[in-house]
Amino acid sequence: MAEQRIQKVLADQGICSRREAERLIAAGKVKVNGHPVGLGDKMDPDYDKVSIDGKNVRIVRKRQYTYIMLHKPRGYLTTRSDDRGRKTVMDLVADVPAMLRPVGRLDKDSEGLLLMTDDGAFINLLTHPSGGVGKLYRVTVNPRATEEQVVQMASGVVLDDGVRTQPCVIHVVTDEPGRTVLEITLHEGRNRQIRRMCSAVGLQVVRLKRSAEGPVKLGMLQPGEYRELKRSEVSALRNAAQKSSRTAPARKQEAPRRPGPLTHKKG
């Protein structure tokens, strides 16, 4: 096998993210064949031996990867471990014989579709900023959303850190006194983005559920359940991410698509 950057090998093996690998290398904790390495160094996964913090890392060649879809319930952290002993998504897939990592994140108070895999290259492809695979969320907010608030969020709003969100598609599902249910499709993944978008226009999220990521849908999977992705689903996700990556620089602002104007009842 041709030589590859060390951080890529570690990420592709599912040992850690590429960013974490770069941090470990910069801190002098990674060695190849017993020698300290730098960020620009390469290795041959077929022949070279790697250690992190003095512990040898097993490099699996031509491995078979595992891809699953989990219906994450509310109350679980999207992380591999928690030093405070809180529940994590790993508790729900403890019987899977693979070193799974979440693909992206879904905050503790949110629920729905969460992809998990031990394929580091797949994780990098789907989470890279240029990927932008659309994620569909069903969001319940209060108080009742006005048309102006919906249009503001769809057009892009400035978050509490001064960053402006990309335009997104918002569909009004139901509109009742005291609350509105929205379907929001995002192509970016900032931390707690939907909650912060809603807060920026004066709305509070009371429920948030991810129902689809690209061509893959949650379907009838119940909270806490998981299933293995079909090969066709993995291929479809790869194709969607690669297509989005190629078209990302030319992506234009998209006007919000709605079934019709919001109506407000008196009283």
Decide if 186 is inside a domain: yes
30 with 91, same domain? Answer: no
14 with 125, same domain? Answer: no
106 with 154, same domain? Answer: no
Of 46 and 139, the structure prediction assigns the larger pLDDT to: 139
Q: State the chain's mean pLDDT as an integer.
A: 88
pLDDT at 243 over 90: no
Give pLDDT, residue 46: 77
Q: Give residue 1's pLDDT band: very low, low, confident or very high (50, 70, 90).
A: low
> Which residues have a catalytic role annotated?
107
231 with 119, same domain? Answer: yes
pLDDT at 151 over 50: yes
Predicted structure pTM score: 0.72
The region, left, alpha or beta by phi > 0 then psi within -120 to 50, assigned to residue 154 is alpha
Q: At which of 170, 192, 215 does a domain end?
A: 215
Decide if 174 is inside a domain: yes
110 with 71, same domain? Answer: yes
Decide if 24 is inside a domain: yes
Decide if 258 is inside a domain: no
Q: Give residue 156's pLDDT band: very low, low, confident or very high (50, 70, 90).
A: very high
Tens of pLDDT, residues 45-85: 877 899 999 999 888 765 688 999 999 999 999 999 999 99
Of 45 and 41, the structure prediction assigns the larger pLDDT to: 41
- The whole domain housing 9 covers 4-57
Give pLDDT, residue 60: 74
CATH at residue 121: 3.30.70.580
Look at the chain and report how many structural domains it folds into. Answer: 3
Does an H or E element contain 11, and which?
Answer: helix 6-12
139 with 206, same domain? Answer: yes
φ/ψ of 245, rounded to 5, equals: -65, -40
The pLDDT of 137-157, averaged and rounded, is 96
The tokens describing 178, both together, are 């005291």
Decide if 11 is inside a domain: yes
The Cα–Cα gap between 187 and 112 comes to 17
CA within 13 Å, CB half, 228: 9
Give pLDDT, residue 129: 73
Give pLDDT, residue 160: 93
204 with 228, same domain? Answer: no
Percent of the chain with pLDDT over 90: 66
172 with 72, same domain? Answer: no
CATH at residue 14: 3.10.290.10
Decide if 265 is inside a domain: no
11 with 114, same domain? Answer: no
119 with 154, same domain? Answer: no
Decide if 259 is inside a domain: no
